[in-house]
Structures are given as C-alpha cells and as structure tokens.
C-alpha cells in the first residue's frame, strides 16, 4: 500500500488530504473539526459532544431519519466521535455512492437544524448517557483522577461534561458553538479509497468550496504547572471490587518523547492502541506489571493507556485489585517494578519484543480503508500526517537509555495522581 498522499487547502481554508487505495471499491470520507472538550469553558463542559449529537438531527435538505436510511440503503456505514482535541464524522461507502457522503457533510456543516424540542429531547439522551456512565466504577474513578491531575487545563473535564452543565446549557449555546467551530477554516477533509485524486478533488470543491470559512484565533496557552507532590483521590461507590488508577503526566504526541514512551508503555503494561476504534488484540501477558501483579495474584487485570493529544495529557495505569490484597499493597508492587527499571538495565530482547508488539498493534489499527482515512485526519489533529508515516521508524530508534530517561522523567511519584475506588458492597 503506497504512503503517497495529496494535500491542498481550498480558498475557504478547508484542508484536504486524499489517499488513493485501489484494493477494494470502497471510499472512506472523514470530516475533522478542531473542537473538543479542550475548547470548553466552565459552565459549558460537554457542549462539543452534545453538538455532535445534534448534527444527526438533520437539515432541511436531509431531514432526521432520512440520513440513516440513505446511508444504509447505499450499503454504507457512518458514525461520529468527540474527544479532547477534536470532533469527527465519517462515512465509508461503496465508491460509486460517495457523493451522498460529501453532500451530507457539506450540508450539515452549515445547515443543521437546532430545533428547540430536539435540543431538549437530546438533553435527556446525553444526561442518561452521563448517568449510565456514573454506574461504572471506572468512569467515576477516572473522572476524579482527571480533575485532580489538572488545575488549569481544560483536559481536567470529561468529554461528556458535568451533570450541572448538561442541565444548564441552552439551545443558543449549542448553536453558537456549532456556528463558530463547524466551518471550513477549522476543518480537515480526509478521504481514502478507490478514486482518482483529480476527480475526488473536483467533487470536494463542488460540495465544500462555496462554504464561507472563518479562521479562528489559536487557543490561549493553558500551561499546567508541573506537579510537585503526589496527589491522592478516593472514590467510594457501589460494587464489591477495588480499583487502583495511577496517572502520570505524559508528553504531547508531537513531542519526541512520545515514541520512547510508547515503548515504555508496551514494556510495563502492554501496548496501547492509538486507533480510536481499536484493532489488534495484542496480549499484555508479557508485560512486566502483568507478570508481577496478575500472575502473582495481586491483581485480576491491568492495562495502560497512552493517548495522542495536542498538549501533555496522562498515562493511566488501571488495575483491578485482587480480593486477597488491598490497593496500597498493589501500589507498592507497581513502585517496586518501576524501580527495577532503574536498578537492572532493560535488555535489548525486551525492547525488541515491546517494539514488535507496539508496531503490530499500530499495523492492525491501520490496515483497512476506513482506518487509513482515519489516520489521515487524526494525525493532523495533533501534528501532521508525517507523524503517522514515521511512527514505526521512530519506535525502532528507541534505546535502553531512552527508556531509562523517560522513566526517570515521567514515572516519578511526585508527578502522579493515585486514585482508589473503594466498594461499599452495594448494588451497581
């Protein structure tokens, strides 16, 4: 599969990335907007996610209900996601039906109907989604840890928003957010599949070229002070299982430290899939913490999470504590294993295995046409497409000294938040 892509920017500011893949008569079309929970202010948390929901309520040209039937009738699939730094919508269609996706997304970029009754109806849906998440101990623990980890930066807020904000946000708030951020100068079109680049560019110019673009000022630099002491947070709730979450500050994806951190992640907890909708199924049973915690029955399960973000975010280690032990005992085991990184050198064989697993998971999450189109736009949200192209090469350059430096710089107790979920034995 060729890595060659075509890039351009229309007069209205719309960035366009095209990648021809002629392995199957399929085209995947993504629209990425630079807006997510990072762009929200207190009182309006969750508004980006709610606007994403409203984008499925239709336009005068494509009323609600018709959209889904039209996509399904043509044999396509579609979905949307809101995250910390971005919101995205996609359609993967038979190649000869892609005009529907282009027309649909161009239309709802400017013509979405924010009916007051639909807003109130969707308020109920989003609040129910939030309340459903609150039944999950891991959501409650993660929310507490995330808000404790950041003092100033909007990364402290969950994407779904606070329950009080979801009750107070009004129709005009949503519509103004939509009008501000859903414009060509704040968007990236990423298309991969079975097409001719010249012909696809003409289609995109026809659909999107006439939409007015308004460049937005850059975000203020929300510098988060470096943590000086370990922070602790305790959450009590229903259930019978204790969970431990350890959150270390992680580098932004564009920071070169991200690549050795990816190998360190694979080494100590197992590789993280950077693809938002998965793929791979790589086991973490060879990781250091799995062998120390799960095999020795300190934990039932363990996983790590490293995310590609615009600003420094968190490296989360989440552990399901074994009933025979408590969270403090498990935390001590984690600390001793991390100390081992400093005491006994990481072998080249370990590095090679960790790199192999990380590369395999990356490849599994990049192999089909939908995933290729995903990476075209996703990498532009935090860096450039060259980041994706160079990812494997950067992993192969990581050395034992790189891992030691990253561990010393980032995996220190004074730089972390420790969260413990204490079950009260009640029903969830």
According to the 3-state scheme, what is the secondary structure of 229-283? CCEEEEEEECCCCCEEEEEEEECCCCCCCHHHHHHHHHHHCCCCCCCCCCCCCCC
DSSP string, 22-77: -SSSEEEEEEEES-SGGG--TT-TTHHHHHHHHTTSB-SSSBTTHHHHHHHHTT-E
Contact 17, 71 (CB under 8 A): no
pLDDT over 90 at 374, yes or no: yes
Q: pLDDT (tens digit, 9 = 90+) per residue, 80-91?
A: 999 999 999 999
Q: What pLDDT does 2 receive?
A: 63
Distant-in-sequence, close-in-space partners of 21: CB < 8 Å, separation ≥ 6 = 1, 192, 193, 194, 369, 372
Task: Give me 86's structure tokens.
Answer: 């971005």
CA-CA-CA-CA dihedral for 147, 153, 159, 161, to nearest 10:
70
Q: What pLDDT does 166 receive?
A: 98
Distant-in-sequence, close-in-space partners of 164: CB < 8 Å, separation ≥ 6 = none
For residues 288 and 411, give the distance between their C-alpha atoms in angstroms, rounded to a whole number: 15
Model confidence, pTM: 0.94
Please work out, in degrees rounded to the nearest 5, the angle formed at the alpha carbon of residue 80 by the alpha carbons of 50 and 125.
35
For residue 306, what are the CA distances in angstroms to 44, 80, 115, 259, 412?
27, 21, 39, 11, 16
Contact 85, 20 (CB under 8 A): no
For residues 195 and 28, give the distance between their C-alpha atoms in angstroms, rounded to a whole number: 10
Domains 6-208 and 231-423 share a fold: yes
Q: What pLDDT does 428 receive?
A: 56
Distant-in-sequence, close-in-space partners of 59: CB < 8 Å, separation ≥ 6 = 107, 108, 111, 112, 113
Q: What pLDDT does 21 receive?
A: 95
**What CATH architecture is 231-423?**
2-Layer Sandwich (3.30)
Q: What pLDDT does 222 receive?
A: 65
Distant-in-sequence, close-in-space partners of 331: CB < 8 Å, separation ≥ 6 = 244, 246, 418
Q: What pLDDT does 221 receive?
A: 61
Q: Which fold has domain 6-208?
A: Cytochrome Bc1 Complex; Chain A, domain 1 (3.30.830)
What mean pLDDT do residues 137-152 have? 96
Q: pLDDT (tens digit, 9 = 90+) per residue, 198-229?
A: 999 999 999 999 999 999 987 766 678 878 89
Compute the half-sphere exposure of residue 61: CA atoms within 13 Å on the CB side of its CA.
11
DSSP string, 82-119: E-SS-EEEEEEEEGGGHHHHHHHHHHHHH-----HHHH
Q: pLDDT (tens digit, 9 = 90+) per residue, 245-281?
A: 999 999 999 999 999 999 999 999 988 788 765 555 6
Which residue carries 């204790």 as its tokens?
242
- Least confident segment among 107-121, 262-276, 353-367, 399-413: 353-367
For residues 191 and 284, give the distance between their C-alpha atoms in angstroms, rounded to a whole number: 33
What mean pLDDT do residues 389-401 have? 91
Compute the half-sphere exposure of residue 360: CA atoms within 13 Å on the CB side of its CA.
14
Which residue carries 């269609």 as its tokens?
93
Task: Give me 220's structure tokens.
Answer: 């203020």
427: confidence class by pLDDT, cuts 50, 70, 90 = low
Task: Give me 163's structure tokens.
Answer: 């329950």
Q: What pLDDT does 219 receive?
A: 72
Q: pLDDT (tens digit, 9 = 90+) per residue, 281-322?
A: 667 888 999 999 999 999 999 999 999 999 999 999 999 999
Domain assignments of the chain as residue spans, ordered by start: 6-208, 231-423
Residue 325: left if φ>0, alpha if ψ -120 to 50, beta else—which one?
Answer: beta
Q: What pLDDT does 367 receive?
A: 77
């Amino acid at each position: 599969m060729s890595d060659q892509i075509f890039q351009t920017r229309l007069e209205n500011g719309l960035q366009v990335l095209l990648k021809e893949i002629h392995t199957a008569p399929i085209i995947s079309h993504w629209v990425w907007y630079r807006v997510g929970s990072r762009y929200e202010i207190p009182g309006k948390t969750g508004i980006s996610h709610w606007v994403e929901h409203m984008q499925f309520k239709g336009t005068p040209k494509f009323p609600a209900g018709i959209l889904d039937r039209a996509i399904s009738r043509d044999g396509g699939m579609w979905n949307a996601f809101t995250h910390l730094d971005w919101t995205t919508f996609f359609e993967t269609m038979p190649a000869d039906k892609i005009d529907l996706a282009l027309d649909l997304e161009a239309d709802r970029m400017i013509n979405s109907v924010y009916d007051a009754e639909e807003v109130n109806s969707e308020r109920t849906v989003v609040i129910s989604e939030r309340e459903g998440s609150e039944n999950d101990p891991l959501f409650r623990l993660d929310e507490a840890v995330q808000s404790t980890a950041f003092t100033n930066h909007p990364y402290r807020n969950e994407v779904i928003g606070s329950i009080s904000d979801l009750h107070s946000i009004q129709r005009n708030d949503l519509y103004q957010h939509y009008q501000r951020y859903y414009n060509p100068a704040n968007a990236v079109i990423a298309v991969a599949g079975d097409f001719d680049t010249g012909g696809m560019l003409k289609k995109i110019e026809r659909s999107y070229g006439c939409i007015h673009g308004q460049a937005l000022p850059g975000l203020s630099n929300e510098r988060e002070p470096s943590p000086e002491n370990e922070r602790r947070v305790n959450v009590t709730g229903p259930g019978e299982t204790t969970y431990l979450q350890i959150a270390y500050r992680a580098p932004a994806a564009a920071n070169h430290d991200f690549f050795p951190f990816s190998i360190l992640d694979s080494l100590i907890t197992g590789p993280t899939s950077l693809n938002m909708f998965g793929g791979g199924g790589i086991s973490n049973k060879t990781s250091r913490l799995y062998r120390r915690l799960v095999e020795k029955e300190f934990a039932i399960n363990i996983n790590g999470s490293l995310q590609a973000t615009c600003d420094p975010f968190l490296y989360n280690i989440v552990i399901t504590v074994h009933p025979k032990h408590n969270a403090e005992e498990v935390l001590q085991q984690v600390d001793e294993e991390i100390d081992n990184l400093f005491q006994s050198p990481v072998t080249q064989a370990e590095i090679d295995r960790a790199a192999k697993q990380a590369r395999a998971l990356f490849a599994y999450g990049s192999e089909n046409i939908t995933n290729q189109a995903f990476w075209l736009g996703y990498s532009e949200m935090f860096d450039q497409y060259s980041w994706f192209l160079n990812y494997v090469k950067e992993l192969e350059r990581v050395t034992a000294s790189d891992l030691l430096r990253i561990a010393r710089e980032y995996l220190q107790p004074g730089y972390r938040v420790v969260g413990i979920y204490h079950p009260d034995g009640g029903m969830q």
